[in-house]
Structure 1
Amino acid sequence: MDLYDIHTHDAVTPSADDDGVPWQRLHYILNVYPLGFEYAKDSELCTWFSCGVHPWYSEDAEPQLKFLQEIANDPRIIAIGETGLDRLKGPGLQIQEAVFLKQIELSEKLHKPLIIHCVKAWDELLHIKKTVKPYQPWIIHGYRGKPELTRQLLSHGFFFSVGDKFNPDSVNEIPIDRLFCETDVSDTPLVDVYSKIADCLGIPLEILARHIQENVINIFKLPAINMPSKEAMPVGE
């Protein structure tokens, strides 16, 4: 069984034992800052990346944005971000928005999905999406919002990536073809994230895994055989 982690900051995502999973391969997209890509790109541990300027670090971000524009066409970078808006941390929203808009432009130019970090700035995010009218998928990572917000975001075409902490009522609102899984900075094994979400949805883990795999292939435009993977390992070894 193949499990996909679309947003992690750890290049060594561990395999995990689970009695309900007879066999698993872990695939992941490593999130890096633009300069971080230079350090990570030749690692044998990771083949695919998302790359962007986080809203926390939007101030004086021109050098990083310039470098991002230079490297973002690299085929190993399969998504732009994480980028977005955070009302609780980082410089003022006006500064964050300027950096966000430049990365939206890059996402559209290169036809690569956008990975979004948003904290308490949903009105601003929706306003930007309505104004820009992007063609590329926008994926909100680490999503924990309430059902009312979820329905609103769904009506505007957002996708959602869910980690080990989530709102069960909201997860049940998300169509399975709009759903992804992630570990972000958590130590929770990816298989446990999948198990929690599968239990929440009332479906077998294997069915969830199959849908997530289809979503990854469709949205990131990758054949499954080309995704980075850890060695297949029988559970319990």
Structure 2
Amino acid sequence: MWFDTHCHLDFAEFTSHQERYNELFRQHNIARFFVPSVGPQNWQLVLDLASDTHCIGLGIHPCFLQPLIDNQSLDRDLERLSVLVLENRDHVLAIGECGLDKRVDIPISTQLSVFRFQIDLAEQLKRPLIIHSVQQHHNIQASLKGRQRDNLGVVHAFSGNYQQAKMLVDLGLKIGVGGVITWPTAQKTREAIAKLPLDSIVLETDAPDMRISGRQHEANSPHLIPIIFNHLATIRSEHPSTLAEQIWENSIHLFSG
């Protein structure tokens, strides 16, 4: 069985073709999913997906901050997030997707403020963080320093080097391994993932994004997790069955509530 620890099943690609994708998930033995939110516009959509097989998280993604800033609703939306998470604490198994992104034209100070609010919320509920980090691993580390605990969260869609990965793992974070490792150009990331402790790795697609090499002209989907795993097995020293079993356990633990 497989667990896709980061997929946006509330996006139109999946809701518009639900029966077809559900059949693909069954055929490829994709048994569990984690669905993060990106902001107020899809909190309820994500909550509606919560089930025994679909773990969900609520948060505010740095790339979706601008409309909240433009509407001068950011403070109210953060308060709404806190209230919604507390009201649905039995279903909300993580906080996120949240984090920092150097590419977006929003002051890093604003991004940090929103991220730290969500760190505090995750700490209050003892929930893991689902972290988006683009060229901001140093600020992620600084924000989480001193907050180490079991099951702190995961840096999803990791594409850095070994030193960056180890720094994050040493905080107590897991590393989300996705389609990046299928690309021959991602050698530094492949080398990093090859050396990490096995108990720090989970698999994800970030579907419908983060395309897979050789299938970049089609939407990504959880049913492609076995392809990512096959690439992972070529760079790890463990027997594939050992690798698959431990990754399943890591994923279950991450969202154990």
Aligned partner of 1:198 in structure 2 is 233
What is the RMSD computed on CA atoms of the aligned residues?
A: 2.5
More helix by share: 2
Aligned partner of 2:44 in structure 1 is 38
Aligned partner of 2:184 in structure 1 is none
Deviation at 1:14, TM superposition (A): 6.0
The alignment status of 1:180 with 2:202, answered yes or no, reads yes
1:56 to 53, 57, 63: 63
Whether the 8 Å CA contact 1:16–1:191 is kept in 2: the answer is no
Size of the aligned set, in residue pairs, is 216
Structure 1: 5+ residue stretches without partners: 223-237
Pair 140,15 (structure 1): closer, same or farther in 2 beyond 3 Å: farther
2:147 to 133, 152, 167: 133
* % identical aligned pairs: 24
Q: Secondary structure at the match of 1:118?
A: strand
More strand by share: 1
- Counting only pairs closer than 5 Å after superposition, residues 12-161 of structure 1 correspond to structure 2 as 12=14, 24-32=29-37, 33-43=39-49, 47-59=54-66, 60=69, 61-73=74-86, 74=88, 75-130=90-145, 132-135=146-149, 137-161=152-176
Aligned partner of 1:3 in structure 2 is 2
- Structure with bigger RCO (C-alpha 8 Å, 6+ apart): 1
Structure 2: 5+ residue stretches without partners: 15-20, 182-188, 211-219
Query: 1:133-154: per-residue Cα shift (whole Å, max 9, x none)?
Result: 2435131000011122223333
Deviation at 1:112, TM superposition (A): 0.4
Query: For residues 122 and 50 of structure 2, what CA distance do their matches in structure 1 show?
Result: 26
Deviation at 1:39, TM superposition (A): 2.5
TM superposition score normalised by structure 1: 0.81
Query: For residues 23 and 139 of structure 1, what CA distance do their matches in structure 2 show?
Result: 24
Q: Secondary structure at the match of 2:120?
A: helix
Pair 34,76 (structure 1): closer, same or farther in 2 beyond 3 Å: farther
Query: 1:145-182: per-residue Cα shift (whole Å, max 9, x none)?
Result: 11222233333332101101132101112111111111
Amino acid at match of 2:194: N
TM superposition score normalised by structure 2: 0.75
2:249 to 198, 211, 214: 214
